[in-house]
Amino acid sequence: MSNVWRPAFADPASAEPETPASPDLQDESEVSPMTPVEAIPDEPLPDGRYSDRELSWLAFNKRVLELAMDQDRVPLLERAKFLAIFSSNLDEFFMVRIAGLKRRIAAGMATPSASGMMPRELHDAILARTHELVDEQSRVFEDVVRPQLAAEGIKILRWSELTESEKTPLTQLFHDRILPVLTPLAVDPSHPFPYISGLSINLAVQLRHPATGALSFARVKVPNILSRFLRLTGDRFVPLEDVIASHLDALFTGMHIVAWTTFRVTRNEDVEVEEDDAESILYALEKELLRRKVGRPPVRLEVEDDINETMLELLTRELDVSAKEVFRLPAPLDLRGLFSLTDVDREALLYPGFIPLTNPHLAEVETAQAADLFSALKRRDVLLHHPYDSFATSVQRFIEQAAADPRVLAIKQTLYRTSGDSPIVDALIEAAQAGKQVLALVEIKARFDEQANIAWARKLEKAGVHVVYGMVGLKTHCKLSLVVRDEGDQLRRYAHIGTGNYNPKTARLYEDMGLLTSNAVITEDVARLFNHLSGITQEINYRRLLVAPHGVRKGLIEMIDGEIANHRAGIPAGVRIKVNSIVDEQVIDALYRASNAGVPVDLWVRGICGLKAGVPGLSENLRVRSILGRFLEHSRLFWFANGGKAHVGIGSSDLMHRNLDRRVEVLVQLTNEPHIAQVEELFRLAFDDGTASWWLGPDGWEKKTTDAEGRPLLDMQSHLISVMSQRRGQV
């Protein structure tokens, strides 16, 4: 009997026996099959068992802010970067989540969220909590990070703090490079209030006519042609808006400058495409992106805390924002500008340098010569763990080698997000130009990357690549690559199934896993899935894959129920899951039932967590941990005890409605014992009391980063860097 994820997705009796790609691959017959279990009857669960997803997301961003506050474990410039990440995260949250919430309020929708909160109540709660968090961010920057940077000679100064010798070249820079691109816009009877683009920094200027004494208002947009913080001598910086504000007399000649301040607007930036009515998804999205540029209502107004009431009243009236949506903050606004400080050459204030290594199963010796991946994959499957394993010498090399290999006949690839100078895209173009059959499934609805993905899609099409723009009603979020190679006696397929995007840049910053394989059963599954995505099939059954929207939720709940049955039968049972977010009520309820039945449940969640941990009578056997650090934890891992024969998978899917119902997602089962052991070790480390993490309890998240004596606990990511660097000599 073939080992399958669950009987619901493949009939074991009808499945052909799996033949390993080589003797080195584990024999499927050695893996115990999953036994069908009777459905676990629904048990009454209490109301109020779900945490609100939006407030949970704010709790996640609070953990990001706590990294900026962590002087024991996080170097100073990295703490400044976490302040910038906090701001960037919050921007996207308002542009998408709060924008959607405001749309529901405007439409008069009175449906409560899963947590029981009504839209207006939730909106008020979010704004109140956000005010607390941004106030805390400002305090951390002003009272802690900024003074510590200054103590290291890295100073962010106001214009009044500059020396005359520093002001002179800035004045020249203003007249040469800044003034020519500035456009002052007056507001008066003949000049209506201008459109304020989202996330732009603007100067609000109050003017007085010298003859009449009449007051007027003008707006100046701060251009993005220069860095947000202009560098002076050494590591001294001044905000660009300060330079502009100090030369307003050059813009408003003959007028008296009464007052000036900075402000920033966040707008609804979510994309809405009615695919069912569109002749072309691509055409519909292009039109929607054009509409995004204008007419998007504001969802937040940030102003300086010393703004005068006249200007504040004008801004709130013209932008139609409520008092609750106004955030009064100390200058400088928009701390995303702190990203630029990471360019400061101060190694001691940054994380130690880190160079990913080639996975030793792909190349036993690290050399300048590229490894032959096809030969390596004939011997064994390879489980990759990025960024510790180099993406460039594994996944990228896999695609590049396939493009250059004359024996390769076809390449099929999903692209959700990729880099601006993508070697993956270049390799696909090279392959198509060489006469290979190349399919690229480009998800053009990847939020905030839509325009870039449209450009890549056009470029690929021109090169002769068969481009598919996803499926109507679904985002293609799975991470798949398939190569078909003529090896003389047979055609052999090779595949990569991952948890992260095919983006070489983010692969150095995101923690992800991926499976490279020539296993005949897996590659057959992937081939049939690609045919489903690019053609017209009704395929929903796979032997080693779970595929959303049809199979992931059902398959996972069946396996959770299986663990309940195993526990009741007195055999080993347990559930361990690592995801970015979990909000799906059906999965959460299944985990609650497992906990109540006595099954130990461990959840490793980076971001949103819609369930409550440690609640008597509900989740006493359920532990939730969160780990944040220099790398963005991004992999999705699934482990089930399965009576002592662990059932383990990796994939692209979080446990959210969008992933389970509105996206094409893929989970693949791991069967090689070393791969299973590797995943088990990650869970062991994550849930070890000696590992720095955040613990979710009945009262919320608790930071656990020091021991009883105040000494830092193990940093898991730093530990893995050390362990993985030593691994080569052990293979």
- Residues identified as active-site: 477
Report the alpha-carbon distance of residue 69 to residue 79 in Å, rounded.
7
Closest CA to 507 of 397, 352, 623, 648: 397
* Residue whose pair of structure tokens reads 């209506």 in the numeric block: 192
Sign of CA dihedral 324, 330, 331, 336: negative
- Measure the CA–CA gap between 653 and 111, rounded to whole angstroms: 27
CB-based contacts of 363, cutoff 8 Å, min separation 6: 371, 376, 393
Q: DSSP letters along 30-92, please?
A: GSPPPPP-PPPPP----TT-B--HHHHHHHHHHHHHHHHH-TTTS-HHHHHHHHHHHHHHHHH
Distance (Å, rounded) from C-alpha 543 to C-alpha 668? 9
Buried b (16+ CB within 10 A) or exposed e, 403-424: bebeebebbbbbbbbbbeebbb
Angle at 513 between CA 510 and CA 519, to 5 degrees: 155
Longest CA–CA separation in the chain, Å:
93
Give the long-range contacts of residues 187-196, CB within 8 A, separation 24 or more: 187/216, 187/217, 187/218, 187/219, 187/314, 187/318, 188/216, 193/318, 194/219, 195/294, 196/265, 196/298, 196/319
Pairing of β 575-579 and β 601-605: parallel
CA 522 centroid distance within chain? 27
Q: Is 668 exposed, middle or buried (0-12, 13-18, 19+ CB in 10 A)?
A: buried
- Asked if the bond preceding 298 is cis, omega within 30° of 0, the reply is no
- What gap in Å lies between CA 273 and CA 287, rounded to an integer? 9
Burial class of residue 528 (count of CB atoms within 10 Å of its CB; 0-12, 13-18, 19+): middle
Q: Mapping DSSP to helix (H, G, I), strand (E, B) and coil, where does residue 711 land?
A: coil
Question: Which helix (DSSP H) or strand (DSSP E) does residue 97 occupy?
Answer: none
